[in-house]
Amino acid sequence: MTARGETAGPPQLGGVLVPTALLATIGIVMVYSATAPFALGQLISTHFVRQVVGLAVGLVLAAIASRLTTEHWRRLAFPLWGVAVLLLLLVPFFGDKVNGSRRWLTVPGFGFQFQPSEFARWASLIAVTVVLATREQVVRRGLAPTMWCFAIAALPAGLIFIEPDTGSAAVLMGLVIVLLFVAGTPLPLFVVPGGALVAALGVAVALRPYVVDRILAFRDPWARAGDEGFQLVQSFVAFARGGLLGVGLGDGRQKLYYLPEAHTDFVLSVLAEELGLVGVAFVIGAFAALLVAGCRIALRARDRFQFLLAAGMTAYLTVPAVLNAAVVMGMVPPKGIAMPFLSYGRTSLLVSCIAVGTLIGVARQIGAQREPATSGDAWRSWKP
C-alpha cells in the first residue's frame, strides 16, 4: 500500500499485461489447431492468418487506447455509443446473412467483416459509466438515472435481439447490471428494470420457440443428442477425452467436424481435449488474474469515473469468459458467446484489445497522479 506523498508507478500493469499476453498467445495457437481442418492441404488456414492480422491491429488499437485519459473517454462515450447504434441499424439492411442471422457488416473495398454487437457492448458500458459517474448522488436516491442506464443499453440490446442474437443482447444487459451493482445502486431500484427484463425474456421465448428447445436440451442433452443437444454432448466428449493432460496439441478429434463451431464458441472444448484439465485451469487462472488486476486498478482510482471505467472494462473482459466456460461445461444453456482472446473472431479480438488498452490507460493515469489514493480510501469514499 502506497503512503501519501509518495510517487507510485502505474498499478497492476503487469497483472493486466501478463495474463493478456498469455491468453492472446494461447488463442493464436488454439485457432491454428481448431481451424486446421479448414486448411485443405495448405500449411495454415485462412482463419489463422486473419486472426494473426487481427491481433496485430488489436495491439496497435490497445496502444492508442492506453494513451487516452479518462477525460477523453468522457467526451467520446456518447459519440461512440451513437456510432454503435447506427451500425446496428445498418445490419438488417446491409448485413451479411450467416446461419440464418444478420450479424456482420462488410467494409466496402476491403472485404473485412465485423460484428457491430461487440462494439456496441463496449461502447454502451462506457456511456453508462458516464451517467453513473456524473450523477452519483442521484443514482443512490432515485430511479430515473437507473432507468436511463437501462435505456442506454436497451436500445442496442433490442437491435441485437432483432438480428437475431438473443445471447449477445442478454450479455449486454447483464454487464450493465454488474456495473450498476458495482456503482452502489440500491437493490430496490433493480425491481422495475428487472421486471422489464423478465418480460423481455418471456417475449423472446414466445417469438423464438428454439430458445425453449435449447433450455430443454441443456437440462438433458443426452436425450436430444441428435439435434439441440448435439453440440453440448460433443463438448462433454472433448472434455472426457482430454482428461488431466490432454491428447496432445493438434491431436484432438472433436474439431474434425464432430464439434460444431469448434474454433469460435467451443474453442475451450478443443483446448480441453488437447491440453486437458491443466490447460483449462491455466486459461481460467489467467482470466482470474486479469479480474484481480482490474479490481485492484479500480480500487486505486482517484475519482468515480476512473473507478467505474476500470470496473466496466474488467467486466467486459471477464464476464463473457465465465459465461463461455459455463456453456461448454454444461452449466448454463448453450448460446453463442465468444471466449475473449481465444475464440476466432476479429471483432471480438479487436474490441477486447481496446478494452485492455482502456484499462491500462486508467492504470497509467492513476500512477501519474501525485499522492494516489489507497484502495481503502477509494472504497470508503464510494461505498453505498
The amino acid occupying position 244 is L
pLDDT of 379 = 43
- The total number of residues written for the chain in this structure: 384
In this structure, is residue 272 part of a structural domain? yes
Query: Is residue 262 located within the same domain as residue 349?
Result: yes
What confidence tens digit (pLDDT) does each residue in 278-307 have? 999 999 999 999 999 999 999 999 889 999
Examine the domain organization and report whether 285 and 144 are in the same domain. Answer: no
Determine the pLDDT at residue 28. 95
Cα–Cα distance, 229 to 186 (Å, whole number): 39
> What pLDDT band is residue 92 in, cutting at 50, 70 and 90?
confident
Structure confidence by residue, pLDDT tens digits, 152-162: 999 999 999 88
Q: For residue range 355-364, what is the model confidence (pLDDT) as tens digits?
A: 999 999 999 9
Same domain, 225 and 370: yes
Residues 234, 201 within the same domain = no
pLDDT at residue 211 above 80?
Answer: no
Q: Which of 171, 186, 208 is the last residue of a domain?
A: 208
- In a shared domain, residues 83 and 139: yes
**Which distant-in-sequence residues (6+ apart) come within 8 Å of 110 by Cβ?**
none
pTM score, whole prediction: 0.89
Task: Please check whether residue 267 lies inside any domain of the structure.
Answer: yes
Q: What is the pLDDT of residue 152?
A: 93
Structural domain ending residue among the three candidates 179, 208, 237: 208
Residue 366 grid cell = 492513476
Residue 98 is given by DSSP the state E
Same domain flag for 226 and 363: yes
* Residue 80 and residue 63 in one domain: no
* Residue 375 banded pLDDT, cuts 50, 70, 90: very low
pLDDT band at 224 (very low <50, low <70, confident <90, very high): confident
Answer yes or no: do 251 and 321 share one domain: yes
pLDDT in tens, 117-139: 999 999 999 999 999 887 555 44
At residue 39, the pLDDT reads 77
Domain annotation covers residue 261 = yes
- Are both 111 and 253 inside the same structural domain? no
What pLDDT was estimated at residue 22? 96
pLDDT band at residue 142 under the 50/70/90 scheme: low
Q: How far is CA 10 from CA 147, 189, 307, in A?
A: 35, 36, 15
Residue 4 lies in a domain: no
pLDDT tens column, 169-206? 889 999 999 999 998 888 888 887 777 777 877 777 67
The answer to whether residue 3 sits within a structural domain is no
The sheet carrying 101-107 orders its strands as 96-98, 101-107, 112-114
Same domain, 238 and 382: yes
What's the burial of 42, exposed, middle or buried (CB within 10 Å: 0-12/13-18/19+)?
Answer: exposed
Q: For residue 326, is it within any domain?
A: yes
Q: 238 and 193 in one domain?
A: no
Q: What 3-state DSSP class applies to 16?
A: helix
Identify whether 98 is part of a domain.
Answer: yes
- What's the pLDDT tens digit per position in 61-80? 999 999 999 999 999 999 99
pLDDT at residue 108 above 90? no
Give the residue among 249, 135, 220 at the shortest CA–CA distance from 185.
135
Identify which has the larger pLDDT, 97 or 295: 295
Question: Which amino acid would we find at residue 319?
Answer: V
Q: Which of 208, 242, 261 is the last residue of a domain?
A: 208
Q: Which domain holds residue 96?
A: 76-208
pLDDT at 106: 83
Q: Is residue 12 part of a domain?
A: no
Q: How many distinct structural domains can be found in the chain?
A: 2
pLDDT of residue 340: 95
CA distances from 168 to 119, 153, 157, 159, 324 (A): 11, 12, 8, 11, 12
Question: In the chain, what percentage of residues exceed pLDDT 70?
Answer: 88
Average pLDDT, the chain: 85
195 and 99 in a common domain:
yes
